[in-house]
Structure 1
Amino acid sequence: MMRLVIIASLATFHSNPLMQNSADTTLPPCPGSPNCVSTEATRESQRVPTVPFTDAPVAALARARIALLAEPRTKLTVERDGHLHAECTSFLFRFVDDVDIVVDPVAHVYRFRSASRVGESDLGVNRKRIARIAARLALPATSSK
């Protein structure tokens, strides 16, 4: 019985790589294809800038959630310890892109990654998406007064 529980736990753990280390907020690397952008990309053509924040990390995460969900056809699939993961589905062909936002509480910046699951080119869709999200996050935080 104990062996069955361990195997089931490992299968669940292995099936969702985003949940493998809940304290880990590193972004997956971009593949060699041009259909990925990231603040941590090693290639200049795939790099996007971070966005600073001044609010508390919990508030910054809430703002990131709102900015991310403002994207059409976006479903939040993981939210944990300063990390959001969502799936964005294209309108016409129903392609799914993976989007990650990390709230870095040490550097006080948002870090991003957006990547297509299939294909080679994305016609700039991922870069435009991150630019829109970054623009929403660059707006001043609203006070609750």
Structure 2
Amino acid sequence: MQQSRSQHSPPCATKPGVSKRRVTKRALLYGAGLAILLGVSACAAGQGESSPTTGTFDPQSGRFAPCPDSPNCVSTQATDAEHGIDPYTFTGDAAAAKSALLAVINAMPRTKIVAETDDYLHVEFRSRIFRFVDDVEFFIDDGDKTVQFRSASRLGYSDMGVNRKRMEGIRAKFEAR
């Protein structure tokens, strides 16, 4: 009596009709993707450790450092369309404006106040998944009744508009108070 081929063949890890070469290629692609994901995660985890304790604002001149050439920064003091954004406006005194601004910021997730004076705030915002840090500085200018700010990503080239969207969201909540 002859036994069927399947009884003598060792079990195969692949589905019928799928070559081992195709399975190996798929495994390599998954492995490469995992390595990239782990690398990005390691960078994101390590970036919080080198957190700057001071921002880019110079109180003597009332100026922030310019945005870099990359599109991951917005500033009320930038003159180009890619980085420029209008300051927030307020009525009343600077202390009330700062209090309203802090209320908006403190209601937002993953924020940390790094530095604070009577007319200045430096805040860290962390992204939800990879915990990328964006540094945001605010200068409350009582003379002009404006809040000047600079928001910049610490890592990467493009933030896909995240800094601008965040700052416009803060504007809407701040100016509604």
Specify the TM-score bucket, using the shorter chain as the normaliser: 0.7 to 0.9
Higher strand share: 1
1:61 aligns with one of 95, 98, 101 = 98
**SS of the counterpart of 1:18?**
coil
Count of residue pairs brought into register by the alignment: 126
Superposed CA RMSD: 2.0
Contact 1:88–1:96 under 8 Å retained in 2: yes
TM-score, normalised to structure 2, is 0.65
Tell me the amino acid that sits aligned with residue 126 of structure 2.
T
The aligned counterpart of 1:95 is 132
SS at match of 2:82: helix
Asked if 1:27 corresponds to 2:61, the answer is: no
What is the DSSP-based 3-state SS (H/G/I as helix, E as strand, rest coil) of the residue aligned with 2:143? coil
1:83-121: CA deviations, max 9, x gaps?
A: 110111111111100011111111001112110001000
Q: How does 1:100-111 map to 2 (within 5 A)?
A: 100-111=137-148
The CA deviation at 1:69 is 2.1
Instruction: Report deviation, 1:27.
Output: 2.0
Q: Which runs of 4+ in 1 moved over 3 A?
A: 15-25
- Counterpart for residue 49 of structure 1: 86
Structure 1 letter corresponding to 2:131: R
Q: What's the TM-score, normalizing by structure 1?
A: 0.78
CA contact (8 A) 2:57 2:137 kept: no
Amino acid in structure 2 at the alignment position of 1:135: A
Shift of 1:42: 2.4
1:37 matched residue in structure 2: 74
TM-superposition CA deviations, 1:65-98 (whole Å, max 9, x none): 1122222201011111301101111111111000
Secondary structure of the structure 2 residue equivalent to 1:91: coil
**Runs (5+) with no aligned partner, structure 2:** 1-51
The answer to whether the 8 Å contact 2:125/2:134 transfers is: yes
Does the 8 A contact of 1:64 with 1:101 survive in 2?
Answer: no
The structure showing larger relative contact order (alpha-carbon pairs under 8 Å, at least 6 residues apart) is: 1
Given candidates 100, 110, 121, the residue that maps to 2:158 is: 121
Gaps of at least 5 residues in structure 1 are: 1-14, 141-145
User: Which is greater in Rg?
Assistant: 2
Task: Give the equivalent residue in structure 2 for 1:134.
Answer: 171
Cα distance, 1:122 vs. partner?
A: 0.2
Q: Contact between 1:74 and 1:88, CA under 8 Å: does it hold in 2? A: yes
Question: In 2 relative to 1, CA 16–25 (structure 1 residues): closer, same or farther, beyond 3 Å?
Answer: farther
- Does the 8 A contact of 1:27 with 1:113 survive in 2? yes
Q: Percent identity?
A: 41
Task: Note if contact 1:25-1:82 (Cα within 8 Å) is conserved in structure 2.
Answer: no
